[in-house]
Copies of this chain bind each other. A is one copy, B any other.
Amino acid sequence: MTAEPFTRPARDARQVLADAAAVTGPAVREAVTRLPHRIRHPVGMHFGWWDTDGTELSAVTGTGKSVRPALTLGACAAVGGSRSAGVAAAVAVELVHNASLLHDDIIDGDLTRRGRPTLWARMGVPAAVLAGDALFFLAVHVLATAQPPMDTSAGVAVLTASVQELIEGEYTDTLLEGEGGTGASLKEVQAMAAGKTGALMAAACALGALAGGGDEPRVAHLRAFGAHLGAAFQLVDDLLSIWGDPQRTGKPAGSDLAARKRSLPIAAALGADDPAAQQLRALYACPGPLSSAEQELTARLVEQAGGRAWARHECERHTRQALERLHGARPEPGAGAELTALARLLTTRDH
């Protein structure tokens, strides 16, 4: 079965993302004003609203792509919810996403995010730990006080379960990093990606559907749509970070290779029974960073061992399954068309 768009969407996918950002951005900011005043400062710095000394920044840049809020608002509309009904859920998802970024940047030691220094790099680990904690609980608060038809108990249950999957994915990632390049099986890397990327995208859709008053089967279908979309999205990301155009991805090609990350195409190639895979395993087992020439060789070996083809195939499979589950939710036609367009945009970036 091939699930095709319902109708020509009223807005194209980029417009859907921009509109989601325009609706969710101010609502996120309003939610943050409910935090006690001191912790608001590092939180606002993370969002790029103000400077170290509290100066309001005139142009807010680097707010992220609003993928998750767009999914939430789309899922809400898909079950017939009003535009305003999904906003609280979209805000909650965006807050959780940002909380996890704050903690993730500490964990990975990342120095920049969205073109700005990360919060821990600028204000220290304590501020970033606590700002993340504050955003996690603000998300719970926003969701728990959402208006009907949202079933807030069901919403909090979806959120807490998804965040536990997200945490498990992040923790698994730290364990796999520790084990060295060849230690992780493809299955483990897939489970990690499902937690790190899939769980919150699934929650974004499920919470949108709950906010719109969707019944249990529609919520379950939309949740699965988000999970498959998350899996496909992660595969695209992994493919781009090896073979993408650095001008378009904004990060150097091969950075995953240089760091010997166990991204999905690499894990698939490492697990293959093939001379290229054997050579790849030997390369990954050597200590120290890979030289530029070794990175090029690695990329070729991943391709020869079938990692690239596998990842593309898996990406298509998850995209197809996502669209099937979207159809299964019997979405309102306009919203269904927009979610389909969004799914296509997120999964067919140049790879």
User: Could you tell me which A residues sit within 8 Å of B by CB distance?
Assistant: 35-39, 42, 103, 106-107, 124-127, 129-130, 132-134, 136-138, 140-141, 144-145, 152-153, 156-157, 160-161, 163-165, 167-168, 170-172, 174-175, 195
| A to B CB contacts below 8 Å, 8 in the list | A103-B133, A106-B129, A124-B174, A130-B170, A130-B171, A137-B164, A140-B160, A144-B160
Residue of B nearest to A136 (CB): B136
- The residue in A106, A141, A160, A172 that gathers the most chain B C-beta atoms within 10 A of its C-beta is A160
Q: How far is the CB of A334 from chain B (nearest CB, A)?
A: 33
| Chain B hits for A163, CB < 8 A | 133, 137
Which of B36, B140, B170 makes the CB contact (< 8 A) with A165?
Answer: B36
- The residue in A35, A174, A195 that gathers the most chain B C-beta atoms within 10 A of its C-beta is A174
| Chain B hits for A156, CB < 8 A | 140, 144, 156
Residue of B nearest to A37 (CB): B168
| Chain B hits for A124, CB < 8 A | 174
Q: How far is the CB of A1 from chain B (nearest CB, A)?
A: 33
Q: How far is the CB of A153 from chain B (nearest CB, A)?
A: 6
| Chain B hits for A36, CB < 8 A | 164-165, 167-168, 195
- The residue in A36, A124, A134 that gathers the most chain B C-beta atoms within 10 A of its C-beta is A36
Q: How far is the CB of A304 from chain B (nearest CB, A)?
A: 33
- The residue in A35, A161, A163 that gathers the most chain B C-beta atoms within 10 A of its C-beta is A163
- Complex Cα–Cα for A161 and B34 (A): 10
- Complex Cα–Cα for A168 and B38 (A): 7
- Complex Cα–Cα for A134 and B42 (A): 22
* Further contacts, 10 of them, CB under 8 A, given A103-B129, A144-B153: A36-B195, A38-B175, A39-B168, A106-B129, A107-B126, A125-B125, A126-B174, A127-B171, A140-B160, A141-B161
- The residue in A125, A133, A160, A170 that gathers the most chain B C-beta atoms within 10 A of its C-beta is A133
Once A38-B175, A157-B141 are accepted as A-B contacts, the answer to whether A167 and B107 lie under 8 Å apart by CB is no
| Chain B hits for A107, CB < 8 A | 125-126, 129-130
Once A125-B106, A126-B174, A144-B153 are accepted as A-B contacts, the answer to whether A137 and B38 lie under 8 Å apart by CB is no
| Chain B hits for A103, CB < 8 A | 129-130, 133
Residue of B nearest to A162 (CB): B137
Which of B38, B138, B140, B153 makes the CB contact (< 8 A) with A171?
Answer: B38
| Chain B hits for A168, CB < 8 A | 35-39
Q: How far is the CB of A173 from chain B (nearest CB, A)?
A: 9
